[in-house]
Homo-oligomer: A and B are copies of this chain.
Amino acid sequence: MKKIKIFSPGTIANLSCGFDVIGCCLDTIGDEMTITIEPGTGVFITKIEGADLPKEAHLNVAGVAVQALLDELDQDIQVTITILKNIKAGSGIGSSAASSAGAVWAVNELLNKPFAPHDLIRFAMQGEKLASGNAHADNVAPALLGGFTLIRSYTPLDIVKLPYPEDLMAIVVHPQIEVKTSDARAVLKQNVTLTDAITQWGNVGGLVAGLCLNDYQLIGRSLEDVIIEPLRSILIPKFEQVKKAALAQGALGCGISGSGPSIFALSQGIETANEVAKAMHEVYKNAEIDFDIYISNINSTGIRRID
């Protein structure tokens, strides 16, 4: 029997202009998972703490992702998983991705890495498919690769790890309200004007250039979303006030994390991050809305061993 204990981090998908293509990995919020492999067959989830989620492997994102990996291996093994969920389901910071990416990463480690990190993405995506009906990669990719990731293409799957400036910090506030995925999808429009699309891809280019060139101000100017945020932000209480408060305290930019309701901001350095967090905190405290708040550096390596 081989055993591993891991930290599987939360992630911010979309990042304003980068809807469906850009994500980054957090460091101070994540799940803990223990995975064992031994001779035998089958995937068993024996304990889940911190969330009310199904333990049947075929109904659990971690189970489905691991099964997808095992299906490509010509080897009989039995996998046992326990999960301590710290990332709340439906928070918009990659709760399902942490479970599915963490599980396949751990099994791959225990098997002495038959797959490269990029290969693990497609297995973890099967967990996302179970969770949301859509095998998206914008949370599992940064969880597995660390740092910032760009999904250049889905067919074929082409994911690029982007460099980023080292003092970049993320602040995430999670208001304790439920945004139904169906609502977050229903507000999107199937068509956009060419003008808005051009504005958006100018910003995507700017964000990628800012990350690659260590240009904090360019990152900030590019964190603009003329297509999704105007529609989805109406589902998030006090979104405009939180954003305004974050920017007033020096945040480079601020937007919806994933499909919400969490709101993220980026900043240069920990001092500004603390001020931004305090400002976001004040808005929800004054509005008497419960919330969690996280300040994190960017996690450069993604999921890691903690045993």
CB <8 Å contact, A212 and B208:
yes
Query: Considering the chains assembled together, what is the distance between the CA atoms of A212 and B203 in angstroms?
Result: 16
CB <8 Å contact, A205 and B206:
no
- Interface presence of A222 (CB below 8 A): yes
Q: Which of A5-43 contact B (CB under 8 A)?
A: 17-22
Determine the chain B residues whose CB is within 8 A of the CB of A191 once the complex forms.
191-194
CB <8 Å contact, B160 and A218:
yes
Query: Considering the chains assembled together, what is the distance between the CA atoms of A207 and B162 in angstroms?
Result: 12
- Interface presence of A307 (CB below 8 A): no
Determine the chain B residues whose CB is within 8 A of the CB of A153 once the complex forms.
199, 202-203, 206, 221
Using C-beta atoms within 8 Å of the partner chain, give the interface range for chain A. 35 or more
Number of copies: 2
CB <8 Å contact, B201 and A201:
yes
Determine the chain B residues whose CB is within 8 A of the CB of A64 once the complex forms.
none
Query: Considering the chains assembled together, what is the distance between the CA atoms of A197 and B18 in angstroms?
Result: 11
Q: Which of B21, B194, B227 contacts A194 (CB 8 A)?
A: B227
CB <8 Å contact, B202 and A150:
yes
Query: Considering the chains assembled together, what is the distance between the CA atoms of A189 and B191 in angstroms?
Result: 11
Query: Considering the chains assembled together, what is the distance between the CA atoms of A191 and B189 in angstroms?
Result: 11
Which residue in chain B gives the minimum CB-CB distance to A20? Answer: B198
Q: Which of B188, B197, B208, B227 contacts A205 (CB 8 A)?
A: B208
CB <8 Å contact, A19 and B212:
no
CB <8 Å contact, A152 and B205:
yes
Q: Which of B194, B199, B209 contacts A160 (CB 8 A)?
A: B209
CB <8 Å contact, A221 and B152:
yes
Query: Considering the chains assembled together, what is the distance between the CA atoms of A197 and B188 in angstroms?
Result: 13
Q: Can you name 9 A-B residue pairings with CB atoms under 8 Å?
A: A22-B205, A152-B202, A153-B199, A160-B206, A160-B209, A194-B227, A197-B227, A201-B204, A204-B208
**17 extra interface residue pairs, beta carbon distance < 8 Å, beyond A153-B203, A212-B212:** A150-B205, A150-B209, A151-B202, A152-B203, A152-B205, A152-B221, A153-B221, A160-B205, A188-B194, A191-B192, A192-B192, A192-B194, A197-B201, A204-B204, A204-B205, A204-B208, A208-B212
